[in-house]
A and B are shown apart, each in its own frame.
Chain A
Amino acid sequence: MSELTAKISELWTESPLNYLRVGALVTILSVVYLFSGLQAGYPGWVLLVFNVLIVNFVLYGILLLGLNLQYGYAGIVNFGPVLFFALGAYTVALVSAESTFSDLGMGMPWYVGVAAALVVVLVVAFILSLSTIQLRGDYLAVVTLAGAEIFHEMAAGLPATLGGNQGIPGIPRIFHDIAPDAFTAGLAAFGALTGLLIISYAVMQRLGESPFGRVLRGIRDDETAVEFLGKDIFSYKIKTFLIGSVPMGLAGAFLGLINGGVAPGFITIDVTVLVWVGMLIGGAGSNRGALVGLLIISSFQLFTRFANQSIPVGSNTFASLRLMAVGLLMILIIVYRPQGLFGDPDKLEVDA
């Protein structure tokens, strides 16, 4: 037995490649299960847990990995990650939706929608970064936040172009359309997207360990010194912004493909704040830490959702209390532990 464990630990080193294998395996198994036609049977509350976690942990986690590359590694204060999330979701909707009562959506296959989403996200990220990346930290935060707000306003205010407050329905639901029932779909979706999260983690982790990632950390800590070494800071920052926006757009695209629709309510500033709080709890600059931070936040949300049934307050009051707690947590972390739970205090000087 001990020989076996030794052999496994010999094979299993903490390398991104291994994570990549595991992620790919989980995804493939989930997809195989989805097409196998086997029905899953489990209690209803588990399905609720899956549905909450798919959005609040798995998809936001993929988004978070992109944000952590930008802020945690390179110190780029992007306060509008939800903009790229929204662009991904809305592009998939416009390209792939087949809506009966609004003539929005071209009805293309879902993978064409995802490809288009990535193109749109990259183009917007390129334009935005080209023009703003040199701004001071707090100005950059303002511009990215305003950019996200502009898109939100457009989505809500242009019914004929982006669906208005009703959003765009009729996106193909890649899991629910195939699976025999909601339980099977929930399980398969949770598995496949978790696999995608692990793959994203592996890619970002590898990127962070590479020479490219080391330069980014250098830029975060001391821009002048890195410039003195002959690195083109500007192009590094642009690349970082572009690479980081890919997982954001991808997460948004899958949000559309899971929900079967998009609406302005999915792309509010709350998404930005949740992801930022998650990243700060875990510690910016550490992919694993940031994901654990997000898991803490989403577990908290999940837990309170169930707790509300036993606490005698209205659901509106309860939702408000929950958001208050998130805000308070954000303040306390910044004040008392800016490096987060797992961050390295020497590595991350939070001031821009």
Chain B
Amino acid sequence: MSLIQNLIFGLEMGSYIAIAAIGFTIIYGIVNMINFAYGEYMTIGAFVGWFAMSEFSLPLAAAIPVVIVVSAILGWVISRIVFVPNHDAGPIPLLLISIGLGFVLRNGYRILLGGSPRYFDMSPTTFRFDSLGFFVTTRHLTIIAIGLVSFLAIHLLLTRTDAGIAMRATSDNEKLSTISGIYTDKIRRNVWLLSSGLAGLSGFMLATSTAATPLTGFHQILLVLSAAILGGAGSAYGAIAGAYIIGLTVTLAGSYLPGEFANLGTMFAFVILIVVLLIRPTGIADVEEA
């Protein structure tokens, strides 16, 4: 495969990983927990999207807001029950709770929805550039575009709205924010809405290119985590950069490594993660900002 082709695949992967990584890292910054059930929040979006498009025959453009809203509400309800009452338990107990929750949700999906994959009818239009040795489909372009629009929306949310500024303040210094009159408890409760909505959108984008299964999000969790940590825990902009690095690494590794090592694309993301944690636990961005 040509380099350009790999870059396109890498950008596509980077786009959905980035959206998930932002949602993941926001929770890390504000609630101070690593949410290992985040992949299951992504899976919600994949199935909501599938029902919206296949059962209710909505077009893609109409399905996206439905996915975001429904995933946000469902994720928020789950978090209100499981995480919010335990926000002050400390990072390790919260991590263990999230691992337990992941088990419950994953297997719950399997019982409710069955294990068989559900495919999306995307019927992509393909643009071929054979002289340059690559092709692009409308689906690639759509996913990359959704990514860019989401980044802009999140940027505006974090810099131009009171809620976003309060979120960044809480992420930076919770005690100081409380003293300054920000309702940090309210922020910590409701940030789950944003995080779950982003997870759902990401899961949906991912599922359109593969399929919706009970394990859709679970297979991505370590990639998302790698992207978030690479970008510096709690930094939304770092998470975007980290996600594209991960996406390109996985794609290029899968394409250029010899023989059976080509199967190990995702493994290199974890290797990057470990190396980064060892050299710079604060991430590559190293700015203490959400």
Contacts and interface: CB of A to CB of B under 8 A. Distances in A.
B14 to A, nearest CB: 19
Contacts of B104: 324, 327-328, 331
B contacts with A: majority SS? helix
B83 to A, nearest CB: 10
Contacts of B1: none
Given A132-B277, A280-B96, A352-B92, A327 B34 contact: no
Chain A interface size range = 35 or more
A67 to B, nearest CB: 13
A308 to B, nearest CB: 14
A302 interface: no
Interface string A316-345: 110011011011111100110010000000
B133 interface: no
A275 to B, nearest CB: 12
Given A149-B222, A321-B111, A334-B96, A132 B278 contact: yes
Contacts of B106: 323
Contacts, number: 134
A335 B34 contact: no
A131 B103 CA distance: 30
Q: Which of B89, B96, B274: most chain A CB closer than 10 A?
A: B96
A131 B281 CA distance: 12
Choose among A143, A146, A156 the residue with the greatest number of B CB atoms under 10 Å from its CB: A146
Interface stretch (A14-22, A44-52, A158-166): A158-166
Contacts of A138: 33-34, 91-92, 95
Contact of B93 (A139, A147, A334): A334
B96 A330 contact: yes
A77 B229 CA distance: 18
Contact of B107 (A132, A327, A329): A327
A256 to B, nearest CB: 22
A150 B267 contact: yes
Nearest to B88: A351
B266 A327 contact: no
Given A143-B274, A158-B261, A351-B89, A331 B95 contact: no
Contacts of B277: 132, 135, 139, 142-143
Q: Which of B92, B97, B229, B270 has the most CB of A within 10 A?
A: B92
Given A331-B97, A334-B100, A321 B107 contact: yes
Nearest to B103: A327
Interface in B28-63: 33-34
A335 to B, nearest CB: 6
Contacts of B110: 316-317, 320
Contacts of B267: 150, 153-154, 157
Interface in B81-113: 82, 85-86, 89-93, 95-97, 99-104, 106-108, 110-111
B122 interface: no
Nearest to A132: B278
B264 interface: yes
A33 interface: no
Contacts of A137: 91-92
A11 B259 CA distance: 64
Interface string A201-232: 00000000000000000000000000000000
Contact of A320 (B34, B82, B95, B111): B111
Nearest to B115: A316
Interface string A267-288: 0000001001100100000000
Interface string B257-276: 00111011011001101100
B225 interface: yes
A327 B93 contact: no
A351 B100 contact: no
B242 to A, nearest CB: 14
Contacts of B92: 77, 137-138, 141, 350-352
A131 B279 CA distance: 10
A153 B265 CA distance: 10
Contacts of A321: 107, 111
A161 B259 CA distance: 11
Query: A-B pairs with the 3 shortest C-beta distances?
Result: A327-B103, A351-B90, A330-B100
Given A158-B263, A334-B86, 18 more contacts: A138-B95, A139-B277, A146-B270, A149-B222, A150-B271, A153-B264, A157-B263, A157-B267, A160-B260, A276-B96, A317-B111, A323-B106, A327-B99, A331-B82, A331-B104, A350-B90, A350-B92, A352-B91
Interface of B: 33-34, 82, 85-86, 89-93, 95-97, 99-104, 106-108, 110-111, 115, 222, 225-226, 229, 259-261, 263-264, 266-267, 270-271, 273-274, 277-278, 281
21 contacts: A132-B278, A138-B91, A141-B34, A145-B222, A146-B225, A153-B270, A157-B267, A158-B260, A159-B260, A317-B111, A323-B106, A324-B104, A324-B107, A324-B108, A327-B99, A327-B100, A328-B100, A331-B104, A350-B90, A351-B89, A351-B93
